[in-house]
């Protein structure tokens, strides 16, 4: 027999109802319920995390090759500059994808500015803060009215 229990989505905080079969042994129903999320919210979290990891990997590469005053030769300086310039289109693509994912989840038209990848190029050590700030900004925007 199928049972149902109410839960609060751990991502969006809205209520939901979980259904489960009595024959499935659940050791702690409350522990299980505390981990539940809506399918849409879970898909958003997975897609967002995947792009965040890719952006962080590019930023880590930039950090490792960042031009410092103490580089020993011109070849190393040129290599570092090339790495940063080759990261620009990659970050542009990834930030477009990140904006698409976040805005679609929040029912908004995609909001992206060229400053987004530039901020990551200028401050690759603050990539997580930049992405979090973007998402927080998206959350504060008014939602479109549906008819």
Q: What is the 3-state secondary structure (H, E, C) of 119-138?
A: HHHHCHHHHHHHHHHHHHHH
Answer yes or no: do 128 and 58 share one domain. Answer: yes
Longest dimension (CA), the chain: 73
Answer yes or no: do 55 and 29 share one domain. Answer: no
| pTM for this prediction | 0.82
Rounded CA-CA distance 126/142 in Å is 27
- Please indicate, yes or no, if residue 146 is contained in any of the structural domains: no
pLDDT of residue 38: 92
Answer yes or no: do 24 and 95 share one domain. Answer: no
Instruction: Quick: pLDDT tens for 78-96.
Output: 777 777 889 999 999 999 9
Q: Is the pLDDT of residue 142 over 90?
A: no
Answer yes or no: do 54 and 69 share one domain. Answer: yes
- Ranges of beta strands (E only) in 1-146 are 2-8, 15-21
Answer yes or no: do 63 and 108 share one domain. Answer: yes
Range of the domain at 6: 2-34
118: its two tokens = 């530039």
pLDDT classification of 77: cutoffs 50, 70, 90 = low
- Please indicate, yes or no, if residue 68 is contained in any of the structural domains: yes
């Amino acid at each position: 027999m199928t049972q149902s229990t109410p839960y609060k989505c751990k991502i969006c905080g809205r209520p939901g109802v979980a259904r489960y079969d009595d024959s499935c042994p659940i050791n702690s129903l409350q522990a299980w319920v505390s981990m539940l999320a809506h399918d849409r919210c879970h898909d958003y979290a997975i897609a967002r995390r995947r792009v965040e990891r890719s952006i962080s990997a590019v930023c880590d590469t930039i950090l490792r090759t960042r031009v410092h005053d103490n580089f020993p030769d011109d070849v190393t300086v040129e290599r570092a500059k090339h790495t940063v310039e080759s990261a620009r289109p990659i970050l542009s693509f990834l930030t477009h994808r990140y904006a698409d994912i976040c805005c679609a989840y929040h029912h908004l038209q995609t909001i992206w500015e060229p400053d987004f990848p530039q901020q990551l190029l200028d401050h690759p050590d603050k990539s997580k803060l930049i992405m979090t700030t973007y998402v927080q900004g998206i959350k504060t925007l008014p939602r479109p009215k549906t008819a």
